[in-house]
Every structure is written in C-alpha cells, then in structure tokens.
Structure 1
Amino acid sequence: MRVLITGGAGFIGSHLAEAHLEKGDDVYIIDDLSTGSMDNIRSLQKNTAYKDKLFVHINTILNPDILLDLTGICDVVYHLAAAVGVKTILDKPLESIVTNIQGTEKVLEMCNKFKKRVLIASTSEVYGKHMHAPLVETDNIIYGPSSKFRWSYAASKLMDEFTALAHHRTNGLEVVIARLFNTVGPRQTGAYGMVIPRFIAQALNNESITVFGDGTQTRTFTYVNDVVASLIALMASDQAVGEVTNIGGVEEVTILELAQKIIEMTKSSSKIKFIPYEEAFGKDFEDMQRRVPSTEKLARITGFAPDKSLEFILTKVIESNKVGS
C-alpha cells in the first residue's frame, strides 16, 4: 500500500510514517517544516530497509501541483499538517487559520478528485469549554468570544470536520475524522506550548517548572504509539468512514499534580512557579479547565483503545530526553 502523510515530519506524523514502513508500506511525506523537523525522520531516511520505501517532499500542501501528484500516487491519505500549539496560534493567528482551513480544503479536493480515503486529524480543542467528563463525539460545542484568538484554532479545526463530512455526504468521499487528546511521546518538543516536554526539560535542568494559571485544570495524555495504532485501525475500518472518533488517554490529572509527579520521577530540585495566563499568553487566551475523552466509540469500531498509564508515558519521555541531552 502507498500512504501519503501530510505533516509527516512532525511529531505524530513521523511515528505514523515509521509504523507504516514497518508494515512494509510505501510512505510519501509532504511537510513544509514549519513545525515539523527533519530530525524526526532522519533515522528513517538512514535505514537501508526503507531506501526505496520512503519519499520525502519538503513543500506545502497549498501547492496544488505537488499535492496532485502525491494524492494520485497514493492509496490513502492521512492529513496531519496543521498549525499546532497554543503559542503558534496566538503568535501567527492569520497564518494558522489559512493553514488549517485552506490546507484541509485542498487535501479534501484532491482526495475527492481521485476518490482516495482520507483521515483528517482533528483535536479535542473543538469541544471548547465543557466541564463534564467524559466528552463524547456528539457533545455540543461551547466556545468563548471571537476576541479571544485562542478559540480560532478550535473553530478552524471544527470547520475542517464540517468540510470533510460535507464531502462525504455530498460526494461520497470516504473520510475518517479523529479527535486527538494531548498526544505525548518521544520527539515531541515543548517549543509550541506542549506541557509535558516543557515540564520535563525544566525538571531535568533543575529550573523552575512554570505552571500557567493555578494548576487546577485537568487533562488526559495519550502515548503516541497508541495514537498511531488508533489512526491506522480507524483508516482500515469501514465503520469509521463518515464518523468522528475520539482518541485519548485514560488517566485524568491536574497540571499541578503533573508538575509534582515529574519533579518526583526526575528527582529534580525544581520548584513550581505559577504564571498568570495573561503573562504567559497575553489577553487573547482562555483555557479549557477539563478535557477527558470517552473512547467507547473507538473501542467499538476498532477493538482497540489507548491504555498506557501516565507513569508509563512520563517514563518514556524522560528516558528519551535524557538520551537526547
């Protein structure tokens, strides 16, 4: 099978590429390296077993010619390319909206042209300001005002979902939508506001661990290998076509508890420092106080759901950070 991964040099994309290569598939990557990195796929390029299996194109999905060629060649398309991270969204609001909405439109148009099954990677951010748990795929959406640009990311990804589902209903395009909840693992950088790699880097350097807000906000975290397994299983399932499915972890934790646990596991001398949201992100930011997924639908469709504990995930990320240091 020939697989196209947009954003394939990114954190999740590189792990997905590796998994498909291990399955014996040909993998085509397109990435503009705006948030991805060649370092993420360097080992794959150096692996002689993948010499004639991996094809990397440094380009943008907004380039119709390269997207036409790659979509035509491949059997299925994973669309992971997007503006990611709160910091990116707030620093580059217009560029982020264009990338997320126009990029997805172009990918869907090409997939529709060739009638290729496509998986759209969405995000738990689309749920907005819910406080209940677990979040199920049919829950209502609750956003803050448009003056808070933090919500532009959630709104743009929700529009991606609407566009994909419209293609499915109007054109019969086989679309699969996955809402990802806080994916974590080796190769992830804290540069774009990702909390676990940032906390671990601070702890390993015995620096202050900076907790934004009061730390009572909660999250669940999903190990990247579980996410990749879920994505591949959803792509292969006819039941997933035309559906939105959560992919998320199992253990709810406050951000303060997360910081304390990382200090304990790294045996760090770091102290916790609380920083007001406005100081960290500016006036355009609002946080989501709680984000816990239901994965019943995922398990029902694929027979699989992420099950890695927070301790397992943190151990893996700490080990990878020590190796890289």
Structure 2
Amino acid sequence: MKVKSRWTYAAAKGIDEAFAHAYWQEFGLEAAIVRLFNTVGPRQTGRYGMVVPNLVGQALRGVPMTVFGDGTQSRCFSYVSDVVPAIIAIAEHPDAYGQAFNLGGSQEVSILNLAKRIKQLLASESEIVLVPYEAAYGTGFEDMRRRVPDNSRAASLVGFKPSTTLDDIILNVAASMESAMAQSPPAEPAMATEA
C-alpha cells in the first residue's frame, strides 16, 4: 500500500485535534480547535501551493495560470481579517473549550472559475492552463473534490460571519503583490559566459 502525502497531512491534523481534546477532557486544558478553510491575505505567497496567491502572481506577471486537474474541484476562500478576530473570540470564550470550529468563507467557487475571475479582475493576458495532477504531484495523487465549511457553530458562539467577498480577497492579494513587486529591486541581468 502506497502512502499518499495528501492524506497523511490530514491525518496528522486529526491527531493534533484528538490530543487537544484529550488534554481538555483529562486535564482541563483550555483548548479549542479551529479548522481553517483556505485562509488568504496580504503578503501571503504561493510557496506551499496556496492557489489564490499562485494564480494572482501568475496573472500579474503575465505567465500561464496553472490550474491542477480538471479545475472543477471547489473551495471556499476566507480573508485573514475575517478569520483572526474569530480565532481570538473562540480562544477567549470558555464555552469553546473542548469544541471544534470551522472558519471559512461562504462563497464556493471551482478552481477553474477562480482562475477566470482573477484573470478578469486583473485584466490579465495570461492563458489558463490545466495541468494534470500527475505532472504536478506524481502518480497516485488524490484531491478533495469539494471543501466547504459549516460555520454554524462559530456563528452561534462568537457571531462569525465572513464579510470579505471573493473579489475583494483577490484584489487585496493583488495589491499586496504589486506593492511588493514595486519595492523589489529589478533583477540584475545575467552575465554572459564564454564557451
């Protein structure tokens, strides 16, 4: 049986949650569990495969926008300034201890439609290219087709209601990237080498 890194990551997070809950139950540790769903914000990079910064960066540079798989997989993106106050409120609320809370956006979008929206909002000339999972991750990669949070427990306890739209998330990430690119010194031209 081949171990799939996609699911070992999820299993490790589940083990962390189990430990937090056990320490609350056995020792009274004031711990609450928060599950973040694709949180995005300024200064975030695409270093760890974060799709919004990756696609925005590609659109701004005018290079192909890469969408893995067939692009029909869907996600809900949340904005950091919506999520952080909810995390603080949950951490400070005694009724949260021993509980698990989802924190995520409320607007579901396929990754292909996300790429199209980024291209449109940023008036990018980049083409959108579908990249097979095998080319990106190797053989045997499995993706979660749909990841949509049920925020009702966080809404009930601390009034969590994400208010930043997907368009605003995209525009805020783009503004942050454009600012960073403007502050970066231009790359030195490559030196020619003699053969």
Same fold (TM > 0.5): yes
In the other structure, the counterpart of 2:141 is: 285
1:239 counterpart = 2:95: yes
Residue matched to 1:154: 10
What CA deviation, in whole Å up to 9, does each residue of 1:151-203 have, x standing for no partner? 11100000000011111111111111000000001011101100000001100
**Percent of aligned pairs sharing the same letter:** 49
Partner of residue 23, structure 2: 167
Letter paired with 2:53: P
* Aligned counterpart, 1:21: none
Residue 253 of structure 1: aligned partner: 109
Residue type of the partner of 2:47?
A
Note closer, same or farther for the CA distance 1:188–1:284 as it changes in structure 2 (3 Å cut).
farther
CA contact (8 A) 1:178 1:247 kept: yes
- Partner in structure 1 of residue 167 of structure 2: 311
Is 1:267 the counterpart of 2:130? The answer is: no
In the other structure, the counterpart of 2:189 is none
Residues 76 and 109 of structure 2 are in contact (CA less than 8 Å); yes or no, is this contact kept in structure 1? yes
Q: What CA deviation, in whole Å up to 9, does each residue of 1:125-157 have, x standing for no partner?
A: xxxxxxxxxxxxxxxxxxxx7621211110000
Q: Figure out how many residues of one structure are paired with residues of the other and give that number.
A: 181
Matched position secondary structure for 2:167:
helix
CA-atom RMSD in angstroms: 1.1
Match of 2:82 in 1: 226
Q: Give the secondary-structure state (helix, strand or coil) at the position aligned to 1:175.
A: coil
- Give the unaligned 5+ runs of structure 2: 182-195
Q: Which has the higher contact order (CA 8 A, sep 6+)?
A: 2
Contact 1:202 1:209 in 2 (8 A): yes
Given the two structures, how large is their TM-score scaled by the length of structure 2? 0.90
Aligned to 1:19: none
Task: Give the drift of 1:257.
Answer: 0.3
- Report the residue type matching 1:287 in the other structure: D
Q: Give the partner amino acid of 1:278.
A: E
Structure 2: distance between partners of 1:210 and 1:323 = 23
Counterparts of 2:138 and 2:91, CA distance in 1? 39
Contact 2:151 2:160 in 1 (8 A): no
Instruction: Provide runs of 4+ in structure 1 moved above 3 Å.
Output: none
